[in-house]
Amino acid sequence: MAEPARHDAVELIRAKRDGRALTDDEIRWLIAAYTAGEVADEQMSALLMAVYFRGLAPAELRAWTAAMVGSGERLDLAAVGAPTVDKHSTGGVGDKVSLVLAPLVASCGAAVPQLSGRGLGHTGGTLDKLEAIPGWRAGLPAAEMIAVLRATGCVICAAGAGLAPADRKLYALRDVTGTVESIPLIASSIMSKKIAEGTAALVLDVKVGTGAFMTELPAARELAATMVSLGADAGVRTAALLTRMDVPLGRAVGNAVEVEEAVATLRGQGPPDLAEVTLALAAEMLALAGIEADPAAALADGRALDRYRSMIKAQGGDPDAPLPQARRAEPVTAGRAGWLWRLDARAVGVAAWRLGAGRARKEDPVSASAGVLCLAKPGERVEAGQPLLELRADDPSRFARARAALAGAIEIGPEPFAAAPLVIERVTA
């Protein structure tokens, strides 16, 4: 590709501020120059704010995403020897789906190269969860990642520094400039990494609800459609499921406690809601990969658990090692008898964060043992004084702030409550 012509950053800021669409060449230059340090943070901050208010037209967004992919290397997974398919979740509370899904889909004949991230705020991160396992490594060089993928059919690891480096810089800048909540910027951030990853197919789990990044269905639908379109334009077979995130997924929220629940699910003993979402995503992934298989059977007969154990061992972890346990636990009890109508996902996520399971900044440490267990879920009958939640932490001073996060999060009603299906709709190109 020819070098883009040089442009003036201030002129591009003015153009986008005033509503003019940027050309492909202008966008390629801008992303390359910012990645190389030739465009200052304050200039890119101004341009991001202009994008936040003015948006990006479809052609601009395609060029923006392609430029981010082009800012680094693109993995070649041709040597893996199986159809490649990945999944990305926009983030939720108790969302340990990847820990079950990657080995499950691999056990059905696909190769799953899952480049995952860390938690921030009330949403958890897959890498933080798996790092609760003694010895497990998130950072794998590209050659080792591909070797693990060939050997076990699945790998869950951190994206290497060479993949979409423009996104790493832009994400950090968006985080401190109030420009995170922009659908074009979210879509290009997610899809640039997934396209650079080299997977042939991708299923997006776009969460909707109080515990999700997108709290309203129309915005979630727009984000899903935007990402599906970007994937198709880049030659990646892409589909999305919109799934509910008003209630924590499963009963465990934290790091080690979510690993325990994921392993229980792989043994066929997990909560029904986690199995429902996981199997729906598995069916989508296998369909895009062109594989006819029954993921429920692979979950039931132990094949998926075997793949999980192989993957953990291949990345240095001990799947049989005891997981960290919190030193202290306190219950949150029901104030009255009745039916649990509401358990707010965001509030539970914030409580787990305050107990030490999450971070406020990317560089903050997390506690492997802290978290929340949901002892009751909406739709279940509860009695006055019954424990509804169990808060876990090593530091007892954290309990008060975690309880404060749960104020108003629990609602108990006089009648039975029927939960809505978790999968709302499917979005394709």
The residues assigned a catalytic role are: 88, 167, 174, 189, 193
CA separation for the pair 108, 124 (Å, rounded)? 27
Candidates 161, 121, 14, 157; CA nearest to 361 is 121
- Between the two ends of the chain, the Cα-to-Cα distance in Å is 28
Beta bridge partners of 328: 393
235 sits in the region (left: phi over 0; alpha: psi -120 to 50; else beta) called left
3-state SS of 353-374 is HHHHHCCCCCCCCCCCCCEEEE
> What token pair was written down for 161?
């520094």
177: phi then psi, degrees, rounded to nearest 5: -125, 10
Beta bridge partners of 421: none
Beta bridge partners of 374: 389
| DSSP single-letter state for residue 123 | B
**Segment 136-140 long-range contacts (CB within 8 Å, at least 24 positions apart):** 136/312, 136/315, 136/316, 136/317, 137/315, 137/316, 137/317, 138/315, 140/315
- Cβ neighbourhood burial of 423 (10 Å; 0-12, 13-18, 19+): middle
**What length does the chain have?**
429
CA separation for the pair 55, 95 (Å, rounded)? 30
| DSSP single-letter state for residue 59 | H
